[in-house]
Structure 1
Amino acid sequence: MLERLSAEGLVEHVSEKAGVGRPGQVWSLTGAGHARFPDSHAQMTLELIAAARSAFGEEGLDRLIAARETASAQSYGEQLTAPDLEARLEQLALARAREGYMAKVEPHPDGGWLLIENHCPICAAARACQGFCRSELALFRLMLGDGVSIERTDHILAGARRCAYRVQPAAI
């Protein structure tokens, strides 16, 4: 099935070595594959962003994004209850997965972890307004706490197949 989808240009894979044995295949949707799962709210979202920008300017749009960030922080605050960083990161990935980001956590070979989001359910909005991506990164930093370094390593809007964030204690 995956080979057929690959031949149609809907999925692609990369090989990843994860210990002994044959390398694993990590499959992801291509741009054409993502188009098969359209965001039915994308057009309305783009129209609302344009209307907010027109009515309130960039400052007003930034205030709306900040309000969304505050609401998300409250929700995540209720879900991220673990005392240690790795467990909180797993809880964050679970919350993001429930929101449609297909999120997971993997160990980073140089220490720390990767928070990986294989899908972006707000991609249309993020393309129209980079404030959403900036806000999400700030939200991750807030939720994982002081003493944690978070760096975006892959970005769908920059042409990557996913968004990924390297997370590690700041002392590493």
Structure 2
Amino acid sequence: MQIQILLNEKKVTAQIAPDMLLIDFLREQGCNSVKRGCDTSNCGLCTVFVDDKPVLSCSLLAARADGHRVITLEGLQEEAEGFGAYIADEGAEQCGFCNPGLMMNGIAMFRENPDPTDEEIKEYLAGNLCRCSGYEGQLRGIRAYINYKKSQAEGGKI
């Protein structure tokens, strides 16, 4: 079957098998930030935006994305660059395997709630599995990034 997707702001038309998962389609298109971690929709590594909503690409048939806008971390480099630096500064990236999914969900959270509490951050990111950290570094990095964004909005004062 043929599908057409706006992938990272570029129109992509492809022939796919009807049972192809979106994660496999995206990786075939060179979107290597989309990771396979669990195949059970429990780890968050495969998170992408479909029409600006975070979606687990391992749980969605590529055919269901036909006619939709799909954004991966490759399509959010400018937005993700600053956020990623704060995660790295806190040593939260360790192996880095979970970072793309964490960053996608973090960006979705910032868009929905630019000033979440620590509890809201934990709740929003609960679906992101990291096998090497205790999540405290990620929480510190997210909090530091939020504080930076607030200081920028207030004219650079911290």
Shared fold per TM-score greater than 0.5 = no
- Band the TM-score falls in, shorter-chain normalisation: under 0.3
Q: Identify the structure with the greater helix proportion.
A: 1
Higher-Rg member (1/2): 1
Q: Could you tell me the TM-score, scaled by structure 2's length? A: 0.26
TM-score by length of 1: 0.25
Larger relative CO (CA 8 A, sep 6+): 1 or 2?
Answer: 2
